[in-house]
Amino acid sequence: MKSKIIRIGSGLVTISLFLAPTAGANTGSGGGFSISAIVNLVVLGCAVVGLFWGIKVMSLVKGGLLSKGWQMFVLGFGFLILAELMILVNRFQLAGVPEEVSTLLYLLMAATWLAGINHTRKVLE
pLDDT tens track, the chain, 125 positions? 666 666 666 665 565 555 554 444 444 455 556 788 888 889 999 999 999 999 999 888 888 888 888 999 999 999 999 999 998 888 877 777 788 888 899 999 999 999 999 999 999 98
Number of domains in the chain: 1
User: What pLDDT was estimated at residue 2?
Assistant: 62
pLDDT at 35: 85
Domain residue limits at 78? 2-124
The pLDDT assigned to 93 comes to 76
Cite the DSSP H helix spans in 2-66. Answer: 2-22, 35-60
pTM beyond 0.85: the answer is no
At residue 64, the pLDDT reads: 83
Query: Both ends of the chain: CA-CA distance in Å?
Result: 29
Per-residue model confidence (pLDDT) at position 99? 82
Q: What is the distance between the alpha carbons of residues 85 and 89, in angstroms, rounded to a whole number?
A: 6
